[in-house]
């Protein structure tokens, strides 16, 4: 029985999504919580693995339960659950505690053909960057990166838009053996919110390792005048990592949404994606 789980977390005290021995991770925490409910080990498949310190408001995962595990879900304190799959979210929240830094916001039976990773058609991230023009709110210290000086958001927005499209983003990705760096950047823009904080909205079919933080670091270099607006395309087309900009901190990055096709196209999308990629996508 495949279950879809919608997940949110504050990544500050996690060593990223992926389970690692002797380290606290989002995957490890959630799998341990669900294992307590179903009585044995489980394994999550996630839409996009996030690095240490990266947050999520709209992460998506799936888990496959065997007959014995599903029977434990169906029976709640000896009584049949009205909506077994839907009840899992609340039961996991109960295991995770009153004020957890990770939670399951929704659970449901997955449609036929659904794969949290391979069926996804896009991922959307937000990055928050506070400069001297906005000041710093200590209540947002876990999800906002700070920058000394004032950044020019108009130049940053113009530079961001030059990168949109299907390209090889090797210059903006941490290389991994056998992993492709070709991605379709669907949207990238900068603006200031009501508090004056610079906010980037970045959307792509998928992201390679550290890609979002490299993209925002490049635009920050444009905003402070160290790079010209058109330089980001030149750097991209060089297909090599560069020291012309910094990869910004993970704390400002939030996975906000994952997009999927209609139910009748889920299996087709998964098949297409598997044919193109053999490794997890990372931000």
CA 32, 35, 39, 45: dihedral to nearest 10 degrees?
-150
CA distance linking residue 198 with residue 164, whole number of Å: 19
Q: Do residues 111 and 265 make contact, with C-beta atoms less than 8 angstroms apart?
A: no
Pairing of strands 182-192, 198-204: antiparallel
Q: Do residues 220 and 248 make contact, with C-beta atoms less than 8 angstroms apart?
A: yes
Q: Do residues 88 and 7 make contact, with C-beta atoms less than 8 angstroms apart?
A: no
The contacts of residue 210 (CB under 8 Å, 6+ apart) are 51, 173, 174, 247, 282, 283
Catalytic site positions? 51
CA 28, 32, 33, 34: dihedral to nearest 10 degrees?
100
The contacts of residue 215 (CB under 8 Å, 6+ apart) are 160, 163, 172, 188, 200, 202
Question: Count of H helices and E strands in the chain?
Answer: 7, 12
CA distance linking residue 198 with residue 151, whole number of Å: 9
């Amino acid at each position: 029985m495949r279950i879809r789980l919608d997940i949110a977390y504050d990544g500050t005290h996690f060593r990223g999504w992926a389970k690692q021995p002797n380290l606290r991770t989002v995957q490890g925490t959630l799998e341990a919580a669900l294992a307590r409910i179903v009585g044995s080990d489980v394994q999550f498949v996630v839409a996009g693995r996030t690095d240490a310190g990266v947050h999520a408001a709209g992460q998506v995962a799936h888990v496959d339960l065997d007959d014995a595990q599903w029977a434990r879900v169906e029976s709640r304190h000896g009584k049949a659950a009205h909506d077994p799959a839907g009840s899992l979210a609340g039961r996991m929240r109960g295991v995770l505690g009153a004020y957890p830094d990770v939670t399951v916001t929704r659970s449901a039976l997955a449609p036929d053909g659904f794969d949290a990773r391979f069926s996804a058609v896009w991922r959307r991230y937000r990055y928050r960057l506070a400069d001297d023009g906005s000041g710093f709110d200590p209540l947002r210290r876990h999800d906002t990166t700070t920058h000394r000086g004032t950044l020019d958001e108009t130049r940053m927005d113009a530079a961001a838009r030059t990168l949109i499209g299907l390209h090889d983003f090797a210059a903006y990705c941490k290389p991994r053996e056998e992993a492709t760096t070709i991605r379709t950047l669907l949207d990238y823009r900068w603006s200031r919110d009501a508090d004056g904080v610079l906010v980037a909205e970045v959307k792509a079919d998928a992201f390679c390792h550290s890609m979002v933080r490299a993209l925002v670091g490049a635009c920050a270099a444009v905003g402070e005048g160290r790079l010209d607006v058109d330089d980001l395309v030149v750097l991209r087309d060089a297909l090599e990592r560069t020291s012309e900009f910094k990869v910004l901190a993970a704390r400002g990055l939030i996975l906000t949404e994952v997009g999927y096709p209609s139910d009748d196209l889920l299996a087709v999308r998964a098949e297409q994606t598997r044919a193109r990629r053999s490794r997890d996508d990372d931000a």
